[in-house]
A and B are shown apart, each in its own frame.
Chain A
Amino acid sequence: MLTIDALKAFGADTDDGVGRCFGNADFYMNLVKTVPAEKKFDELKSALDAGDLDKAFEHAHALKGVLTNLSLTPISDPMIEITEHLRSSKQMDYAPLVETVMEKREELRKMCE
């Protein structure tokens, strides 16, 4: 079961995230629970695999917005990095960053079970 403590231990800035939800921890956690199922993670990976940096930027940018709003720092930090590289259409190996994102997403998914 997802708890604030578990999220804190995960590395999320829950004070910030819950504060953004007017102090309603349940509401905050309900939003967090929807994150692992977010299709954009996979769409981002596919776009990067296909070399479509514009598409990848769109997905990364959208995810960055959501993750930073929820203050899910362990996932949002690498996502910010990916987004900034993609903004300048930087040709690089995105796999390590994407892998971190995916690992943390998986970690979160397990916490939500």
Chain B
Amino acid sequence: MDRRLKYSEHSKKLILVVDDESINRQMLGYIVSSEYEVVYAENGVDALEKIHTFHDTLSMILLDLLMPGMDGFELLEILKSDESLRQIPVIVLTSEKAAEVKSLKLGAADFITKPYDMPEVILARIGRIIELAEDRMIIRHTERDELTGLYTKDYFMEYCAELDQYYPDWEMDAVAVDIEHFHLVNELHGRYYGDRVLSLLADTLREVLSSDADGYVCRYEADMFYMYCTHMESYEKMEQRIAEALKDMLHTDRIRVRYGVYPKVDRSVEMAQRFDRAKLACNRIRNNFMQSIAYYDTEIHDASIFEEKLIQDIRGGLERGDLIVYYQPKYNVQGDKPVLASAEALIRWKHPELGMISPGAFIPLFEKNGLIQLLDHYVWEKAAEQIHEWKMKYGRSVQVSVNVSRIDLYEPKLENRLLGILDKYMIEPSDYLLEVTESAYAEDSGQLIDVVSRLRSCGFRVEMDDFGSGYSSLNMLTALPIDALKMDMKFVRHVHEDVKSQRMIELVIEIADYLSVPVVAEGVEEEEQVQILKDAGCQIIQGYYFSRPLPPEEFEKLLQGS
């Protein structure tokens, strides 16, 4: 339903007629009252009082200019200087040409000449001005973000496009500004504080635009701001200004703001996409406390296209079998000779166009967007199938460990899924080791300890992966339901050259002893490392020193030899 029609059906709009001449007042009031409610004032002072009384409902003021006491011009000045009253449209009543120009400059929307036009003409003019004012009001309410007063995203995009049209030669930057972990700011300090941070950031961005560059800024969503401005060589000044403003006002330097800049935008690229690029640059430095400004460049562009391709291709790749599960042997080094103990299942992607893709290129990416779950399910299935195949072929069980990502642990019936796989391939839970990264425990230890306990009660053995990289509390360690600790690779890497790393390894082993679980070391490449680890009491070793991850057929040769 048309909004205006709805209003006029239920209630008449209110118009204030201001004229010191009773006859004029009555005559105009008579015309106007055919369509509107009318209130009257006979001078400027009286009018101002009525305006204050009715300002919420007043749709228009019809204002005579020459009146004793406060005249129409003076009243226009007062209305113009008041933010809330400025919105009420004013039509001036005059017979003077010079007064028309002056009053329009003072903010009058239109004028009605004396002697009055025919009533129909007057009503049409009034109707049109009210409609324009209402439209302007709707725009005002929707074009600005209520909290910060900045443009909302749709209007922002429109104005940016307009700016492009008017200034086709300007070099423009698209900038994305984001507050790191803003939800924590809100959670730790409350919503009011969070709102103050946002307002302050908005004000400072506005100041930057008024002093250092030309353009527009908007609150794009929650704590993400977009700015479209004339090119700036450096954004460090802006960054400093914002940091100082936050420090001055909120006495904190703990709120971190990230900036992604797509400099000198390519105008053939769509407006929204320009900001996607700025945002991409901005997101690249998420959690990177050393860098707060990132520029979109060809490297980021290529990386994003590469990642997009991986995301697009993963499902097809899994269906076609482009992803292959490799097995890296783990050796028990407790005896005189190392003995093949188990293997870790690791995924490799042989992409039909891109060739072999390093897991480092796709695993962190899929961990971020949740696709890792698909990959994990695939590996779990393939590994179980392999264990079964070897069991049939060699009459022995080879223990294989598979990775369980953080997201998997939130699957409500995880144990059922895993048991289903074991059932399908007729293997035992003890053949199947589950590797859960330490940081997953640190994130929500209560819930994850619960999941891991359930898995163990089904007979699965659980290894804590990357131990030492996370921030497990000593308290949590004692409550930890695990069967082995797999120490973080970086301790192993420097163990033969760095006393500190050696000490760390001894510490991990002591913790493992305390928990009565074995320690697995991975990433072992040198004989010296093996010796040190062995001397320190590490039981299981995995790494290139013994073998790289192998395709199943090559791994089989090890089985045949052992």
A interface with B by C-beta (< 8 Å): 19-22, 24, 27, 31, 34-35, 58, 61-62, 64-66, 68-71
Q: Does any Cβ of A come within 8 Å of B5's Cβ? A: no
Closest to A71 in B: B115
Assess the A69–B116 pair: CB atoms within 8 A.
Answer: yes
Among the listed A20, A35, A61, A62, which residue makes an inter-chain contact with B27, where contact means beta carbons less than 8 Å apart?
A20
Assess the B23–A35 pair: CB atoms within 8 A.
Answer: yes
Q: Does any Cβ of A come within 8 Å of B30's Cβ? A: yes
Assess the A22–B31 pair: CB atoms within 8 A.
Answer: yes
Among the listed A20, A35, A61, A71, which residue makes an inter-chain contact with B119, where contact means beta carbons less than 8 Å apart?
A20
Q: For the complex, give the distance between the alpha carbons of A31 and B34 in Å.
A: 18
Assess the A21–B27 pair: CB atoms within 8 A.
Answer: yes
Please report which residues of chain B, range 13-57, place their CB below 8 angstroms from some CB of chain A when the two chains form the complex.
20-24, 26-27, 30-31, 34
Assess the A22–B119 pair: CB atoms within 8 A.
Answer: yes
Assess the B21–A65 pair: CB atoms within 8 A.
Answer: yes
**A residues in contact with B66, CB < 8 Å:** 58, 61-62
**A residues in contact with B23, CB < 8 Å:** 31, 34-35, 66, 69-70
Q: Does any Cβ of A come within 8 Å of B141's Cβ? A: no
A46 to chain B, nearest CB (A): 16
9 pairs from A and B in contact (CB 8 Å cutoff): A20-B116, A20-B118, A21-B30, A65-B95, A65-B115, A66-B21, A68-B95, A69-B114, A70-B27
Q: For the complex, give the distance between the alpha carbons of A22 and B116 in Å.
A: 12
Q: For the complex, give the distance between the alpha carbons of A58 and B68 in Å.
A: 9
Interface size class of B (residues with CB under 8 A): 10 to 19
Among the listed B24, B30, B34, B68, which residue makes an inter-chain contact with A66, where contact means beta carbons less than 8 Å apart?
B24
Q: For the complex, give the distance between the alpha carbons of A22 and B26 in Å.
A: 12
Assess the B22–A34 pair: CB atoms within 8 A.
Answer: yes
**B residues in contact with A19, CB < 8 Å:** 118-119
B177 to chain A, nearest CB (A): 57
Assess the A68–B115 pair: CB atoms within 8 A.
Answer: yes
Tell which of B20, B115, B119 has the most Cβ of chain A within 10 Å. B115
Closest to B67 in A: A62
Closest to B21 in A: A66
> A19-B118, A58-B66, A62-B66 in contact; A24/B24 too (CB < 8 A)?
no
Closest to A68 in B: B115
**A residues in contact with B31, CB < 8 Å:** 20-22
A89 to chain B, nearest CB (A): 16
B19 to chain A, nearest CB (A): 9
A112 to chain B, nearest CB (A): 14
Q: For the complex, give the distance between the alpha carbons of A68 and B27 in Å.
A: 12
B77 to chain A, nearest CB (A): 20
Among the listed A24, A34, A58, A65, which residue makes an inter-chain contact with B114, where contact means beta carbons less than 8 Å apart?
A65
**A residues in contact with B115, CB < 8 Å:** 20, 65, 68-69, 71
Assess the A22–B24 pair: CB atoms within 8 A.
Answer: no
B67 to chain A, nearest CB (A): 9
**B residues in contact with A68, CB < 8 Å:** 95, 114-115
Assess the B27–A69 pair: CB atoms within 8 A.
Answer: yes
Q: For the complex, give the distance between the alpha carbons of A24 and B27 in Å.
A: 11
B233 to chain A, nearest CB (A): 60
**B residues in contact with A24, CB < 8 Å:** 30
**A residues in contact with B21, CB < 8 Å:** 62, 65-66
B 78-118 to A, binary, CB cutoff 8 A, 1 in contact else 0:
00000000000000000100000000000000000011101
Assess the B118–A62 pair: CB atoms within 8 A.
Answer: no
Q: For the complex, give the distance between the alpha carbons of A64 and B115 in Å.
A: 9
A17 to chain B, nearest CB (A): 9
Tell which of B21, B23, B26, B116 has the most Cβ of chain A within 10 Å. B23
Q: A68-B114, A69-B24, A70-B23 are in contact. List 13 more A-B contacts (CB 8 A).
A: A19-B118, A20-B116, A21-B30, A22-B31, A31-B26, A34-B22, A34-B23, A35-B23, A58-B68, A69-B23, A69-B114, A69-B116, A71-B115
**A residues in contact with B118, CB < 8 Å:** 19-20
**B residues in contact with A71, CB < 8 Å:** 115
Assess the B114–A22 pair: CB atoms within 8 A.
Answer: no
Assess the B30–A27 pair: CB atoms within 8 A.
Answer: yes
Q: For the complex, give the distance between the alpha carbons of A71 and B21 in Å.
A: 16
Q: For the complex, give the distance between the alpha carbons of A35 and B118 in Å.
A: 21
Assess the A22–B20 pair: CB atoms within 8 A.
Answer: no
Q: For the complex, give the distance between the alpha carbons of A70 and B114 in Å.
A: 11
Q: For the complex, give the distance between the alpha carbons of A61 and B68 in Å.
A: 12
Q: For the complex, give the distance between the alpha carbons of A68 and B26 in Å.
A: 15
B34 to chain A, nearest CB (A): 7
A34 to chain B, nearest CB (A): 6
B112 to chain A, nearest CB (A): 11
**A residues in contact with B114, CB < 8 Å:** 65, 68-69
**B residues in contact with A70, CB < 8 Å:** 23, 27
Q: For the complex, give the distance between the alpha carbons of A31 and B26 in Å.
A: 8
**B residues in contact with A22, CB < 8 Å:** 30-31, 34, 119
Q: For the complex, give the distance between the alpha carbons of A62 and B27 in Å.
A: 15
Q: Which 8 residue pairs of A and B lie closest in terms of their CB atoms, listed nearest first?
A: A68-B115, A66-B23, A69-B115, A65-B114, A22-B119, A31-B23, A66-B21, A20-B116
Q: For the complex, give the distance between the alpha carbons of A34 and B25 in Å.
A: 13
Q: For the complex, give the distance between the alpha carbons of A71 and B117 in Å.
A: 12
Q: For the complex, give the distance between the alpha carbons of A31 and B27 in Å.
A: 8
Closest to A23 in B: B119
Q: For the complex, give the distance between the alpha carbons of A91 and B23 in Å.
A: 30
